[in-house]
Structure 1
Amino acid sequence: MFRSRSKDEQAATAKVTASEPKQPRDPQAPKGRPTPKRNQAQAQRRTRAHTPANRKEAQKAAREARRADMARQREALANGDERFLPVRDKGPVRRFARDFVDSRWCVAEFFLPMAVIILVLTMLRQPGIQNIALLLWLFIIVLIVIDSFVLWFSLGKRLKQRFPNENLKGVKPYALMRTLQMRRLRLPKPQVKRGERP
């Protein structure tokens, strides 16, 4: 009465159901999930299209993206394009600090050439020239310290006037580090001439 069907009967039933054509889904019937928004569907398609097949391809794609990003940053550093600058150089406050430094003569920017000259003078075997070189070294260091103090306080005053509600943390050390570079070697490239008000 309640016996199980034989294996032959089960196989025959499976063949019949497999040979029957699959009924198309009624378009009015609910599909059991919400329709995604267009931007979500496009994003899913893009991620599926750009997802690398294996780890090697993923590393290659990451390397290419990093290389393209670095090229954009180098170009931005050369022409001052704010969109692609590194994070430490972005923003109107940092731009103002750069322009403030670039618009004036700084003693610190001549440190490297003077250091080379002093080094050559100290290598000479004449005591008088070596004493002059040491005094020159001391004189340059004192001038750099004084100029840095003047820049620190004048820039701080101008920043408070110009950007009263902005976060000014780290801007003055950023400007001082810029003074240590020779003008033509500074990155981002100077956008103002000497003597021009930023």
Structure 2
Amino acid sequence: MTKEDEKSTTRDPQAPKGRPTPKRSEAEANRKTRVTVPKDRKEASKQARDRMRTEREKQRTALLNGDESALPPRDKGKVRRYVRDFIDSRWAAAEFFLPYAVVVLVLSITKIGYLQLLSTYLFMVFFIVVILDFVRIGLSLRKGLAAKFPNEDTRGALMYGLMRTLQMRRLRLPKPMVKRGERP
């Protein structure tokens, strides 16, 4: 952009223009030079795929490193950062749900009747423990969010945190930045 174009974009709309109106041919030429669209449709789709690939790679490295500037929109912001740190600093029963479900599944497919019954009871007990743990974590997270961010929009942050507890700590993305026991 030239200095003249910058002036025209930042000027007051009620103020006089201060320059002559460009000829139609000049305006069309300016518009055509600004947009660089390939003439070949295949080339355009290839460029779009390359742009998307680099964007996804940037987001993936940000998820692995915790770089706040390149995170996807669902993980950006200081509220989400606080929720991640809050969840990562605590033990939760829900993060052991997947390994526990595998054990229960193996017990349930055995031909021994009492082991099948035991696996059903164990699954129900663990399910109740996970729900109670969700309630405990949810209440304390809601309280912490209200104290730390009284005037900010925290919509969706509670569900974001509860879904994060379902993932095993080592598989969470963005990677945990706090150790267990540290408080955010």
Whether 1:118 aligns to 2:100 is no
* Residue ranges of structure 2 left out of the alignment (5+ in a row): 10-29
What's the C-alpha RMSD, in Å, of the aligned pairs?
2.2
Q: Distance in 2 between matches of 1:95 and 1:72?
A: 19
Partner of 2:153: 167
Which structure 1 residue ranges, 5 or more long, are not aligned? 1-33
Question: How many residues get paired?
Answer: 161
Q: Structure 2: how far apart are the matches of 1:36 and 1:196? A: 53
Structure 2 equivalent of residue 187 of structure 1: 173
In the TM superposition, 1:145-164 aligns within 5 A as 145-164=131-150
Distance apart, 1:37 and its partner CA: 3.9
Larger Rg: 1
1:56 maps to 2:70: no
Q: CA deviation at 1:107?
A: 0.5
Matches within 5 A, 1:89-104: 89-104=75-90
1:138 equivalent among 111, 119, 124: 124
Counterparts of 1:108 and 1:92, CA distance in 2: 24
Q: What is the TM-score of this pair, normalised by structure 1?
A: 0.75
Quote the residue 1:36 is aligned against: 5
Which of 66, 72, 75 lines up with 2:58 in the alignment? 72
Cα distance change of structure 1 residues 36 and 172 upon mapping to structure 2, 3 Å threshold: closer
Q: Partners in 2 of 1:92 and 1:149 — Cα distance? A: 23
In the alignment, what sits opposite 1:11?
none
**Matching residue of 2:26:** none
- 2-structure distance, mates of 1:74, 1:38: 39
> What is the distance in 2 between the residues matched to 1:50 and 1:39?
22
Change (3 A) 1:130 1:36: closer
SS at match of 1:94: helix
Percent sequence identity over aligned pairs: 51
User: How far off is 1:135 after superposition?
Assistant: 1.3
